[in-house]
Structure 1
Amino acid sequence: MRITKLVLALAIATGLSGCLETDSERALAGAAAGAVVADAFDANVLAGAAAGAAGGALCDDVRLCR
């Protein structure tokens, strides 16, 4: 079940990554994906959302999501 949630979250995040143009849109998507992944691994959902939001907001700055 955990792997299914993880694969689903990664598929959704990958699909949305082409549609997101601003840092705030990417941060919101990253927060959602981070929360889902943290929940799938029974980790702290708030920490997962924070890490995902930071990754989403900064991915353009390090040229990962262009």
Structure 2
Amino acid sequence: MLIFKSKGGNLVRKILLALTAVVALAGCTQTEKGAVIGGATGAVIGGAVSGDVEGALVGGAVGAVAGALIGRANEPGQCYYRDRSGRRYIARCPAGY
């Protein structure tokens, strides 16, 4: 088997890992995608800012929650409504939306 080497490690392994991540996310809802992307981004930023694992964990947790909330707000076919009491709820959008 021909293996290509890059400066940082095995290039084929990195490509397969990236493809696996893309395929795994393809079957997720917008909420799940948002949580994964937010969590990963938050962990990277939290670790870079604090310089330790605790910062990465806190950043990942905050990013995952924020990403899930953002992803949930972008669900296709879902609309936000308010009832007579002013409470907000989500339901299917009318036809044509």
TM-score (norm 1): 0.56
Does the alignment pair 1:33 with 2:41? yes
Larger Rg, first or second structure (1 or 2):
2
Relative contact order, CA 8 A, sep 6+: which one is greater?
1
- The Cα shift of 1:42 comes to 1.3
Bigger share in helix: 1
Distance, in Å, in 1 between the alignment partners of 2:44 and 2:72 is 24
SS of residue matched to 1:25 = helix
Structure 1: gaps spanning 5 or more residues: 1-19
Distance, in Å, in 1 between the alignment partners of 2:58 and 2:71 is 21
CA RMSD of aligned residues (A): 2.6
Task: State how 1:1-20 maps to structure 2 within 5 Å.
Answer: none
- The Cα shift of 1:39 comes to 1.1
Matched positions, count: 47
Question: Identity over the aligned pairs, expressed in percent?
Answer: 36
Distance, in Å, in 2 between the alignment partners of 1:60 and 1:26 is 5
Distance, in Å, in 2 between the alignment partners of 1:46 and 1:52 is 10
TM-score (norm 2): 0.39
